[in-house]
Amino acid sequence: MSIHIAWERQGSGEPLLLIHGLGYARWGWEPVLDGLAERFTVLSFDNRGIGESDAPPGPYTVAELAADAAQVLDEAGVERAHVVGTSLGGMIALELALSYPERVDRLVLACTTPGGSDAHPMPKKTAALVALAATLEPPVALRRFVENALAPATVEERPELVDEIVARRLETPQDPVAWVAQASAGGAFNRLAKLGTIERVTLVQTGTDDVVVDPRNSELLAERLPRARLERFEGGGHLFFWEQPDAFVSSVTRFLEDRP
């Protein structure tokens, strides 16, 4: 049964669906949205469990989250779109390409993983923070998670960016139960064995200083996907598109417009 998924449309051109990750509503695309909307009709939405979308009882699965993404395309009247997914959103994008291949044109997978025991596990720094977070006051834990998602140099040199992201997350608080439901989807995801069946031309992106999702997972994706190439953002953290938005927009635009 379908649920309410909040989405919006901006720009004109070929359709482009943006799928964000764990703990971020659609505002998480703000630094790159206007740039992408100059060339594409951009659809962005809140995953179930956050923002203005419904938050049914969990745990969720990536298959359910991919069905929500397909529902957004249906409601927007879009048969086929380019798809950009980051982190958990990248897993959703992979599942969309596997379960709804006719709905997907080109794929962009940012700082994500195919999941499973053969993929590279969560880096120790983030695993330690997850374990520590329960002992911290919620505002302190939130700031620590935001700082952890950025490169160390960004945190040191651009503290105002940390403040901005923290403020936006506080404006759209997520119920902890819904956060766990989303996290469960990512934790159970395992599509490594199916990567060879995805025929879509794919751009895999990673920040070289990402400590949330091991950048070696991007290498793994690029190796196993039949029509993929890898692009590294030097000095970028997990939220490298917040740190280097112009470079991200240029990268995605070049890739999506590079037709034979």
pLDDT tens-digit map of 52-64: 999 999 999 999 9
- State yes or no: pLDDT of 86 exceeds 70: yes
pLDDT tens-digit map of 97-130: 999 999 999 999 999 999 999 999 999 999 999 9
For the chain, what is the domain count? 1
In a domain, 149, yes or no: no
In a domain, 131, yes or no: no
Give me the sheet containing 81-86, strands edge to edge: 7-10, 40-45, 14-19, 81-86, 104-110, 202-207, 228-233
In a domain, 56, yes or no: yes
Residue 201 · residue 60 · CB < 8 Å: no
Residue 15 · residue 82 · CB < 8 Å: yes
Provide the pLDDT for residue 1.
67
Reported confidence tier of residue 258, pLDDT bands at 50, 70, 90 = confident
Provide the pLDDT for residue 260.
54
Residue 79 · residue 103 · CB < 8 Å: yes
Q: Quick check: helix, strand or coil at residue 79?
A: coil
Helix axes 245-257, 30-37, angle to 10 degrees: 40
- CB neighbour list of residue 3: distance below 8 Å, 6 or more residues apart: 48, 53, 54, 56, 68
Reported confidence tier of residue 259, pLDDT bands at 50, 70, 90 = low
- State yes or no: pLDDT of 135 exceeds 90: yes
- State yes or no: pLDDT of 67 exceeds 70: yes
In percent, the amount of the chain with pLDDT more than 90 equals: 97
In a domain, 29, yes or no: yes
pLDDT tens-digit map of 241-251: 999 999 999 99
Containing structural domain, residue 233: 7-121+177-257
The owner of tokens 């040199």 is 157
In a domain, 105, yes or no: yes
Provide the pLDDT for residue 55.
96
Say what the pTM is: 0.97
Provide the pLDDT for residue 2.
78
In a domain, 243, yes or no: yes
In a domain, 209, yes or no: yes
In a domain, 16, yes or no: yes
Once rounded to an integer, what is the mean pLDDT over residues 153-163?
97
What CATH number is given to the structural domain containing 78?
3.40.50.1820
